[in-house]
Amino acid sequence: MFTSGAPSAVQKRLAPGFEKATGHTVIITAATLSEIRKRLQQADAKPDVVVLPRPALMSFEKSGALRPGSMVDIARVGIGVVVREGAPVPDVSTVDALRKTLLNAKSIAHPNPKDGGFAGAHIDRMFERLGIADAVRPKVTLGYAFTGGVANIAKGVAELGLFNISEIVPIKGVTLAGPLPAELQNYIVFSGALHARGASPEPAAAYLRLLLEPRAQEVWKAGGLEAVVVAGN
């Protein structure tokens, strides 16, 4: 299966149970949205399941790359602020508090806003909205969580990070200072679907059903995401 980074940690926790119950092996490939798009353009790419932000998955559905009627909404995640474990926890509870925290930070890490991801683009727009882009951008180091972005906060490479909460929670050595204030928050809804070229549609459909089960919802919650029910599903 192909998945973007934010929901990958939870799926890695759920997959062993599916493997034990069904005898099927789950191979998870986590990458950026742009990397997954490029991979799916190759003829030899035949994932059984794709889990991506809903808008991206809808574009695949319109192109005929997905099995009709297979798309389901799974979970949503917001953006949080992360610092090194043991460091003073900054106030990010209000818009003004977050602005001051970002201006006072010596270094900041967040995902690349120009590589197809939704979180990085939203964070960069947020800097503009807060009127601090010119002051903050020179302090920014770009990096994805699944390639070590959050881990670098634990190592002290950057003082403060902005990442999807689900990408912060599993990493040791860091503290979640809190989610972005509601006025600035950006939720990404992740959906899953069966790919049209997948060779194992029945096990793939069973795997998707597992991601929606009540017992899986607790795992999503523990992983920093919220189970969702979107109108139309």
Domains detected in the chain: 2-75+189-227 (3.40.190.10), 79-179 (3.40.190.10)
The stretch 4-23 carries a mean pLDDT of 92
Over residues 82-127, the pLDDT tens digits come to 999 999 999 999 999 999 999 999 999 999 998 767 899 999 999 9
The answer to whether 95 touches 184, Cβ cutoff 8 Å, is yes
- Return the closest-CA partner of residue 206 out of 6, 5, 23, 64: 23
pTM of the predicted model as reported, rounded to 2 decimal places? 0.79
Average pLDDT over all residues of the chain? 92
The stretch 14-18 carries a mean pLDDT of 96
Task: Show the tokens assigned to 99.
Answer: 């602005």
